Amino acid sequence: MATYRTLPSGKTQAQLRFSGRKPMSASFPTKEEAVRWVDAMTAKVGKVNRDRIVYDKPSTDHTQTLKEMGRKFCLIGLKDKKTKDETIGQLARVIRELEYLNIPLELEQITQQDINQYRMYRLEHVANATCRKDMQLISRIYKFGNREYLLGLVNPVDGVAIPPVGKPRTRIVERHELDALMAALPPVMATIVELAYETAMRRSEITNLTPKDLSLDDRYLTVLDGKTGDRPVPLPSRAIEILRTAASQCPNENAKLFPVMPHSVSTAFRRARRTIGLSEDVCLHQLRHTRITMVARKGFNTAQIMMVSGHKDVHSVQRYTHLNVQDVVDLLD
């Protein structure tokens, strides 16, 4: 027979007992995964009468909360996605804000009026893009519930005006601005920021680097399991100097070159930007835009630019390349 219990960690432990066999047990993030394991183990044993397996009594209450379905969406729908942890944090914030507005969390009770109230509240406090992402998350949770659990719910986000996509940032960070930012940052953060400026690498790609990822004599490094998978990154001379120094200070080849969290880099960058009085148009990710544009100004072809940026399609490169007419005129000479 099979029994289930919820552990203090929130995981579900499944226990299987067969006549004449040693008991089996395993823990899983969700009840659904535990049930699947029981089914697999039962099929493997083969000789067990499945009628003897006792499952939890199915609930006749089909009410689901946004919090619970959102958790399932993150753990199952985003199981192998790099955005899972980020989305879990986003969901927790959305839930807190809905509770603050006294909006019910039961999926069947949330109305279009509730979503519109939430939208207006968010637009008073955050940019259009952030409000848009939060509304899209709620919508995705409803779609997940209807698709995976056949709930047949009406999606309350449908019909509510989602804020439009904002204009893309085209701001290029000048070298003197970078120097001022670095002077206002702690040393390790300043090093990461300069490396982002020199290589067009994403913050998580930099903070995940270890000495074994570096091939400095050949002037490249390898990003492992990045946003677009594994990829080589060609290195300019200044980036090689930075990485040699960082690698020499690492205790072993598996240690992180920069043992900080990606979001901490962004937080430090924002503080430095405010300290020196730069416009909010200058964000950490603009360093990536800046380097890609600088490479394009040198006359690199699209394939060469994509090698630097790590993009897989031309349209993405175009969004990151901010050339003006003077850049092209100079190349004509």
CATH code, domain carrying 232 = 1.10.443.10
Examine the domain organization and report whether 109 and 10 are in the same domain. Answer: no
Do residues 76 and 30 make contact, with C-beta atoms less than 8 angstroms apart? Answer: yes
Is 58 inside a domain boundary? Answer: no
Is 37 inside a domain boundary? Answer: yes
Which range of residues forms the domain containing residue 43?
A: 2-52
Examine the domain organization and report whether 198 and 328 are in the same domain. Answer: yes
Number of structural domains (the chain) is 3
Examine the domain organization and report whether 107 and 81 are in the same domain. Answer: yes
Is 76 inside a domain boundary? Answer: yes
Examine the domain organization and report whether 235 and 292 are in the same domain. Answer: yes
Examine the domain organization and report whether 32 and 79 are in the same domain. Answer: no
Q: What is the pTM of this model?
A: 0.60
Is 166 inside a domain boundary? Answer: no
Q: Give the pLDDT confidence of 189-208 residue by residue, as tens digits.
A: 999 999 999 999 999 999 99
List of the chain residues with pLDDT < 70:
1, 18-22, 43-63, 166-169, 316, 318-333
Q: Give the pLDDT confidence of 295-305 residue by residue, as tens digits.
A: 888 888 888 88
Examine the domain organization and report whether 206 and 99 are in the same domain. Answer: no
Q: Given 28, 52, 76, which residue is the final one in a domain?
A: 52
Q: Give the pLDDT confidence of 228-276 residue by residue, as tens digits.
A: 778 999 999 999 999 999 999 999 989 999 999 988 999 999 999 999 9
- Secondary structure in 3-state letters for the chain: CEEEEECCCCCEEEEECCCCCCCEEEEECCHHHHHHHHHHHHHHHCCCCHHHCCCCCCCCCCCCEHHHHHHHHHHHHCCCCCCHHHHHHHHHHHHHHHHHCCCCCECCCCCHHHHHHHHHHHHHHCCHHHHHHHHHHHHHHHHHHHHHHCCCCCCCCCCCCCCCCCCCCCCCCCHHHHHHHHHCCCHHHHHHHHHHHHHCCCHHHHHCCCHHHEEHHHCEEEEEEECCEEEEEECCHHHHHHHHHHHHCCCCCCCCCCCCCHHHHHHHHHHHHHHHCCCCCCCCCHHHHHHHHHHHHCCCCHHHHHHHHCCCCHHHHHHHCCCCHHHHHHHHC
Examine the domain organization and report whether 140 and 18 are in the same domain. Answer: no
Is 43 inside a domain boundary? Answer: yes
Is 155 inside a domain boundary? Answer: no
Examine the domain organization and report whether 85 and 128 are in the same domain. Answer: yes
d(CA 104, CA 327): 55
Q: In the prediction, which pLDDT does 60 show? A: 38
Examine the domain organization and report whether 134 and 268 are in the same domain. Answer: no
Examine the domain organization and report whether 143 and 182 are in the same domain. Answer: no
Is 130 inside a domain boundary? Answer: yes
Examine the domain organization and report whether 236 and 283 are in the same domain. Answer: yes
Is 11 inside a domain boundary? Answer: yes
Q: Which residues of 247-276 are buried (b: 16+ CB within 10 A; e: fewer)?
A: beebeeeeeebbebebeebeebbeebbeee
What tokens appear for 31 in the block?
């009840």
Examine the domain organization and report whether 189 and 326 are in the same domain. Answer: yes
